[in-house]
Structure formats: structure tokens, C-alpha cells
Chain A
Amino acid sequence: MRKAIKIENLTVFYREMLVLDRISVTVNAGRITGIIGPNGSGKSTFLKGILGITPVKQGQVSFFGNSFEKFRSKIAYVPQRESIDWDFPITVSEVVEMGRIIPKKWWVRTTSADKEIVKETLEKVQLSEFSTRQIGQLSGGQQQRVFLARALAQEAELIIMDEPFVGIDMVSQEAILTIVCKLRDAGKTIVIVHHDLSVVARYFDDVILLNKKLIASGAQEDVLKPENIEKAYGMTFLLDKQ
């Protein structure tokens, strides 16, 4: 199986605190990989670390054998809800249009071909009728789909989503997962950070279980065994579930 992301010895500190301890793991290409762990286990930091958003203490990361810099244009990142200012005066189609920006030439005007792609991607996530709405006027699930549309507009090979299912309803969750599965079937690699185990079992192909350290990784059915889950979440979680 092709390796989409290869991570070696990733260590991240926040202030004086060790957040991630020497994590070495690989993400397979053409699959949906879930990064799972309890709150505060360093999942988001892990993402931000491999994407160069958060400074890392040590570690090497390669994307399809390339450095991040070389592969950057083929990666799409769907941020966590809290990092977005929902009051900002921006319309749905403007957000999706961001996906068409050429990073080294961010001042270049949007072409009509770009506009066409924006339109198509909004159709794909079923938000065409909302294209002129201000982003804050949408529901949580719709907002998440807007960001997924931006990732689609980027025509990325690797799509990384940070907690996309927080605070959204079941209908939107299903809608997002359906799109994600279609993307996987089209050969894209998808990485999703997620904090609980509910949806995981059905949709994720591979799982990376984290809690400051790497607990386990591999095919979903191999990783999500009681002993691994206990290691990541502790006894209380298991008792709650039972």
C-alpha cells in the first residue's frame, strides 16, 4: 500500500509541557484514516505539527515521499470550528473561492474557470442555494460542508479534517461522511481527527489511536480493541460504555 504520510519521531512541546512524545506512524494512501484520542490527547497538535502550523521540537514528516513544502499545494485542511470567526462578513462562495488561490500569487484575480469550479463544488456538497449567504447564517453542519467544498475546490490529493463532527446534527454528519467516502473511492486520502468512538467503527478504514504517545495504529478492526481503547481513554470510559 502506498504511504501518504510518513511521520518519524514527532515531538511537540507546548510551553514547557510535552504534548506529543516521539510519534512514528504512517498514513496509507487512498483510505480514510481516523486520528482518535480523548480530549487533550494532542490530536489537533499532531495535525498542526505535521502541517507545519505548530512548531515541532523534533521529527520528520514526508508526504508521498516529498517534503511538506513540495506537497503543500496538494493538501487541503478543514480547520476546527473554534478557529473560525463566524461573524466575519464573507459569503459561502467567497470561502470556497479561497480554495482556488495560488499561494505564491495570492494577489491574482479569480478567473471565470475558478468561479465555475466553485459553483460545481457547491453543487457537490448541496449548498448551491446558499452561495450568497453570510457564512455565520448557516447551521453548523452546513458550515462544515462549506469548508469541505473549499477542500474540494483545492483539488487536493490529501484532505485533512480537524474535528469536523463537533456540534453538528446527524443529517449533516451523514452528508459529510457520504462525500468523504466518495472522495476516498475516487482515490483521495482523507485524514479525520475525531474525539469519540461512535462514528469511527463504520466509516474509518484505518485508525491512529493517540494519547500523547502513539497507542496503536493500523486497520480499524485491529486497532479498536478493548485493551487499546482502555490504554487511550482509561477505565472510566469503558465502564461508561458498558
Chain B
Amino acid sequence: MENDVLMVLTACSVAIPASLLGVLLVSKSLVMVGDAISHAVLPGIVVAYLLSGTRDSGPMLLGAAVTGFLTTFLIDFLKRKWQIQEDAAIGFTFTFLFATGVLLIALFAGKNSDLDQECVLYGDLETSILDQVVVGGYLYGTRAILQLLPLTIVLLLVIVFGFKGWKIWVFNPDFGSFIGIPVRLFHLTLMLLLSIHAVLSFESVGVILVVGLLVLPAATALQFSKTLSRTFYYSACIGIISCILGVLIGKWINISISPLIVCVNGLIFLVSVILSPFRRKTGQEQNAANPGFQEYKN
């Protein structure tokens, strides 16, 4: 029982910040960039591990921040300077960096080390809860929880204090840069937080499944809410619910939990699309479908 609770809490500690970051990613159509960053931090993690010889979070975070920025910079550079289309630039950047990371593990990290490809790719929630922090006989939580909690707090502060700015950054960045809001800073902040999240969560859910936690709760929430604050709130709730369901079902049929959480999220998303009050379309489709229609109706 205690393990189950610990497992839910660990999963939630990954899912909550992911679902909050996801709201910004999905509504800004940056899902691909989110995907890219969560993969591209791999070489950063490996190099940090090789240099420091430990899996302590300090060097790892530094590695992630560097590769996260490198990814953002490379995508931007290819797009603007070399005028490569955006999806190709993203595709190149993250596969290249990710592959470099995989090679680095194969070449240097060795079979007996803490870091193997399996762990990085798929993560392992079940083993990650064994990494517990016990001080003076008291269990304070798993390492993942204690690492992701500060990130979640920082993220919440960033969202709350920057709320107006985030709204403009997503909805109408031209207006933002026009009135003199540092929209670029918002972009970089999101990318930095995303890189840190990717590093702190890869042990529990792996770099592939973390994308599901970024995208799905947010995409679901967007089907139902008409304000940004509610979207954040719904998204976090969906993240938490999926973690609880994932752990319960996983225990029941004895199956790996992190893919299950993503599957549950996927199903919730599908149901939400069917039930959505808006059936979100793009504005152009909407207006092409009924030009001026509402004008007369109202």
C-alpha cells in the first residue's frame, strides 16, 4: 500500500509539471519542439554523467540546460539563417542529438553503469520509487519527488506571475513584441523549464513517454475550457487522475505502469474529443464553414 501511494506521488510529480508545461506547448503549437527537447537532452545527460561520474541532479541539470538551449538555438538557426522549413529543422536537431546521446551511452557508459539505453528510453517507475530519501528514519519521498517538487513550485510561480505575458505570448505575440513585452524571454523560459523537466523525469517515465504526459492532459483540457487559467487547472487534474488510474490498473493486471498512464491519458483524450462542446476547429475553417452565420443568429 505504501508503495502504491509512493508510486502515485512519484508519477504525479512528473505529470503535474508536464501537464502545466503542456498547456503552453499545445496551445502555442510547439508540441514538436517539446518532443525535440525531451529527446535532445540525452547527450547532455550522458556527458554530465560521464564527466561527474554520478547521477546527481546538479551536473545533469546543467547538461540539460545546455542541450536544451542548444536545441532551441539550432532549430532557430536552421530555420532563420539557413531557411530550412521548421519541421525538418526540428526533425534534424532532435534525432541528431538523441542519436549522439545513444552512441555516447553505448561507447562510454558501459553495461554495468547506472545509465543504460533501456532506462533512458522507457524509464521505470517501479524501480525509481526504490530510490528513496530517508533522513533520521523518516521517509521524505522518492528522489524523483524531491527533485521535481522544486521545479513544480518554480513553474507555478512563473505561470502565476507571468500569466498575462503567457497569454499574450501564445495568443498574439506580434502584439506583445509590439507593445514591448519580452516575448522571446517567455519562449526561452519555457524551453529551459522543459529541458529541466525532461532530465528530472526520464528515470521514471523515459524520454519517449514523457511527451505523452506533456501533450495529452493539455490537449484534453483544451477541449473543454474557455479560459487559460481553467485549462491549466483541468490539465493538472487530468494528469493526476491518469496517474492514479494508471497505478491502480497496473497493480491489478500486473503490467508496467508508465506506458499505462500514457495510454489512460490517450483514452481520456479520445473521449474528450468526442464529447467536446466546441469540437475545436481552426478559426479559418470555422469562418469558411459559416461566414457571418453567427452575426445573423445573434
Contacts and interface: CB of A to CB of B under 8 A. Distances in A.
Counting from the closest, the 3 A-B pairs by CB-CB distance are A86-B283, A169-B292, A134-B226
Contacts of A106: 162, 164-165, 168, 181
Interface of B: 27, 29, 83, 161-162, 164-165, 167-168, 170-172, 174-175, 177-181, 222, 225-228, 230-231, 278, 280-284, 286-287, 291-295, 298
A142 interface: yes
Interface stretch (A88-96, A219-227, A229-237): A88-96
A239 interface: no
Interface string A126-143: 000010011011111110
Bin chain A's interface residue count.
Answer: 35 or more
A101 B172 contact: no
A241 interface: no
Interface of A: 15, 48, 51-53, 72-73, 75, 77, 79, 81-91, 94-95, 98, 101, 103-104, 106-107, 110, 130, 133-134, 136-142, 167-169, 171-172
B171 A139 contact: no
Contact of B295 (A48, A110, A139): A139
Contacts of B231: 89
A88 B295 contact: no
Contact of B225 (A75, A89, A130): A89
Given A51-B178, A53-B177, A139-B295, A91 B226 contact: yes
Contacts of B83: 15
Contacts of B291: 139-140, 167, 169
Nearest to A143: B283
Contacts of B294: 137-139, 142
A16 B178 CA distance: 25
B285 to A, nearest CB: 10
Contacts of A91: 226-227
A52 B177 CA distance: 9
Contacts of A85: 27, 29, 170-171, 283
A130 B226 CA distance: 13
B27 A101 contact: no
Contact of A88 (B171, B177, B284): B171
Given A77-B178, A87-B222, 15 more contacts: A53-B177, A73-B179, A75-B178, A83-B172, A84-B172, A88-B228, A89-B227, A90-B228, A94-B167, A94-B227, A98-B167, A106-B168, A133-B226, A136-B278, A138-B294
